[in-house]
Copies of this chain bind each other. A is one copy, B any other.
């Protein structure tokens, strides 16, 4: 029961520490009345979004929980706890998201205010604000898993918890992605294009909705996404560790039947400790480089984790190979992050060549960026391939079942430092918002300059963590596929495989590869539809509120209405895509059977990874190509090249902010649907 000491305790420590950081951030001054006014509007908008989102989620989750309890809990006799575990998972993720948002909307204005006293005063506020999100994600996730496992002792019920977290991720990531772009397009199209007022102008009714968008997508959405992957990777390895062979091995070698089942919990606990140490280690001097500080914090966390896990494995008598798999995953994550950075960085040849190609027009800019996006998949896919194979072969020698266990452990390795990763990632929207507030509140040049430097560091950190997140998701879904196989084998008592030459597997795979493109298309087309509603509302306000357009003293637009319309529409648009994702997965399972479903999952993983990488990287590349021109190269702002680059960037926006990031979540959701319903499918499939 060593796990019961490390995992829940470090989880509680994480939560306590994040509450401490919350009060630290909150204790700082929020600046002038004008600054507080802007920040207050963003905060209210964010809350309005969360309220909508959580209401919709609550209905969805309760319905699903009833279905799960009836179909699996009672009918399949899996235990009625599955329903509550599912609800509990979504609640834990929702609380983490809520905490993260609450602190982010406080940290932004306080960072801007502290920037008056210098970089070294402002940076800790922004970073610790991000750390609240990071630590509450890992803390609540691991605490939740520990509670469910402690009470039930059954990894299948932890799977229910994980499934609940994935529902939250779907709403937060895909719904948030649609929301963000809706608000962005709505604000720009009416404000900038039709009315000719500047960006971020307070007269624009959609401006707050737009500011809220950054927090919704990058703080709450990304937090829920990594909460989801984090929990899924741990539960996948728990299921693999609970296979008969591994339980026997644990009993023989360590005298503990659940030794390898609970090992990922311990590793995750150590990951939290390493992340806390890493977070405490991140600091920057008056003339320091915040980007470097963030990256070194990540590397330092990795080193601490490798040492801590080695000590635990060594002294508790676990097989060292398992630690090897974890280390492989961690290193692969870093390497994938760095190579991904190459393809999107403003300093590298892909972004620069794309910027140059803008000189021959928008079409060539798009072809060039798209082409580099296609090339950019190669290194991360190769990285995932090598990491999974290495992890398999390192552990395969221990005994049967350890190979796939090792693959799962490499995913856990990557994801165990999620606390640090999310901290660095949530830092981004905080400093982005703080820069916006500094500008809107008319602060002095020196302060805006510091805010700019903080913001630039956020982009550097984000590039690496984004690659990390996709790599981790890739390994996680592979582990989930193995977990699905294990569950089916347990349910049926037969060994099964997913041989591509089996026509059912192949048919499943061919349908599976079509799903991620379908999902991303639906989500992208949703943005267009939803933006249309938003545009109507913005136009209406300009038309009907007297004095708004002229900026008469005391006249204010109805910000909340815009937030509400965008949020309501986003969640409505999300529904068909979600229902299709879950429905087709179940249909393939119940019609084609367990092997078809295995092939289907394989197909969704393959094409999901492809499109997630393509869209994230091409989107980032177009963004930076535009920024490169805006920095004064190739004619600078307003040139023909710039106009072309803006079109590329606009194409890239829904790629990188809506469709691309939703795919991680979507393939995890599908894998979890398959695993959760596997016993039912194995019993009642048509073929």
Bitwise interface map of A from 353 to 395 toward B, beta carbon under 8 Å scored 1, else 0: 0000100111110111011111101100110111011001100
Check B363 against A517 for contact (C-beta < 8 Å). no
Instruction: Indicate whether A244 reaches chain B with its CB closer than 8 angstroms.
Output: no
Q: A404: which B residues are within 8 A, CB to CB?
A: 501
Query: How far is it, in angstroms, between the C-alpha of A234 and the C-alpha of B382 when the chains are bound?
Result: 34
* Residues of chain A from 449 to 506 with CB closer than 8 A to chain B in the complex: 478, 481-482, 485, 497-506
In chain A, positions 609-660 with a C-beta closer than 8 Å to chain B are: 609-610, 614, 647-648, 650-651, 654
- Interface assignment of A113: CB less than 8 Å from any CB of chain B: no
Looking at the assembled complex, report how far the CB atom of A60 sits from the nearest CB atom of chain B, in whole angstroms: 24
Out of B374, B388, B506, B654, which one reaches A517, CB within 8 Å?
Answer: B374
List residues of chain B with CB within 8 A of the CB of A299: none
- Size of the A side of the interface (Cβ < 8 Å), in residues, is 74
Contact yes or no, A381 B507, CB < 8 A: no
Of B366, B385, B610, which one neighbours A610 at CB under 8 angstroms?
A: B610
Chain B's closest residue to A584 (CB) is B378
Contact across chains for A521 and B374 when beta carbons are under 8 A apart: yes
Please pick, from B500, B517, B599, B609, the residue contacting A513 in the complex, using a CB distance under 8 A: B609
With both beta carbons as reference points, the residue of chain B lying nearest to A588 in the complex is identified as B385
When chains A and B are docked, how far (Å) is the Cα of A362 from the Cα of B602? 35
Decide if B500 touches A602 in the complex (CB within 8 Å). yes
Is B528 touching A506 in the complex (CB atoms < 8 A)? no
* Cβ–Cβ contact B517 & A614, under 8 A: yes
The oligomer's copy count stands at 2
Contacts of A610 in B (CB 8 A): 513-514, 517, 607, 610
Query: Which residues of chain B come closer than 8 Å to A609, judged between CB atoms?
Result: 510, 513
- A189 lies within 8 A of chain B by Cβ: yes
Rounded to whole Å, the gap between the CB of A618 and the closest CB of chain B is 10
In contact, A651 and B521 (Cβ under 8 angstroms): no
Contact of A651 (CB < 8 Å), options: B367, B498, B499, B503: B367
Asked whether A408 is an interface residue with its Cβ less than 8 Å from the other chain, the reply is no
User: Once the chains are docked, how many angstroms separate the CA of A2 from the CA of B360?
Assistant: 61
Q: Which residues of B contact A685 (CB under 8 A)?
A: none
State whether A520 and B374 are in contact (beta carbons under 8 Å apart), knowing that A407-B503, A501-B404 are contacts in the complex.
yes
> Which residue in chain B gives the minimum CB-CB distance to A658?
B367
Q: Does A417 contact B (CB under 8 A)?
A: no
Q: Does A342 contact B (CB under 8 A)?
A: no
Hey, which chain B residues are within 8 Å of A508, CB to CB?
385
Asked if A17 CB lies within 8 Å of chain B CBs, one says no
Q: Mark A513-536, 1 if CB is under 8 A from B, else 0.
A: 110011011101100100000000
Q: Whole-angstrom distance between the alpha carbons of A651 and B599 in the complex?
A: 34
CB distance from A537 to the nearest CB of B (A): 17
Q: Say yes or no for A511: interface residue by CB 8 A criterion.
A: yes
Judge whether A61 is part of the interface by a CB distance below 8 angstroms. Answer: no
Contact status B500-A392, CB under 8 Å: no
User: Could you tell me the distance in whole angstroms from the C-beta of A246 to the nearest C-beta in chain B?
Assistant: 16
**Residue from B498, B518, B647, B654 within 8 A of A500 (CB atoms):** B498
> How many angstroms from the CA of A522 to the CA of B503 in the assembled complex?
33
Residues of B within 8 A of A648 (CB): 363
A221 sits at the interface (CB 8 A) = no
Least Cβ distance of A369 to chain B in Å?
Answer: 10
Say whether A363 contacts B650, CB under 8 Å: yes
**Does A606 sit at the interface, judged by CB under 8 A?**
yes
Cβ-defined contact, A506 with B385, below 8 A: yes
Instruction: Note all chain B residues with C-beta closer than 8 A to A366.
Output: 366, 647, 651
Q: Are A511 and B382 in contact (CB under 8 A)?
A: yes
**Closest B residue, CB atoms, query A506:** B388
Beyond the given pairs A357-B528, A385-B507, A510-B606, 6 more chain A to chain B contacts, judged by CB atoms under 8 angstroms and listed by A's residue number, are A367-B524, A367-B654, A371-B521, A373-B521, A381-B510, A517-B610
- What are some 21 contacts across the A-B interface (CB < 8 A)? A361-B650, A363-B648, A364-B528, A367-B528, A367-B654, A375-B517, A377-B518, A382-B511, A385-B510, A388-B510, A389-B503, A393-B503, A481-B500, A497-B497, A497-B502, A499-B500, A500-B598, A500-B602, A517-B610, A517-B614, A647-B647
Name the 7 nearest CB pairs between A and B, nearest first: A363-B650, A385-B510, A374-B521, A392-B503, A374-B517, A371-B521, A497-B499
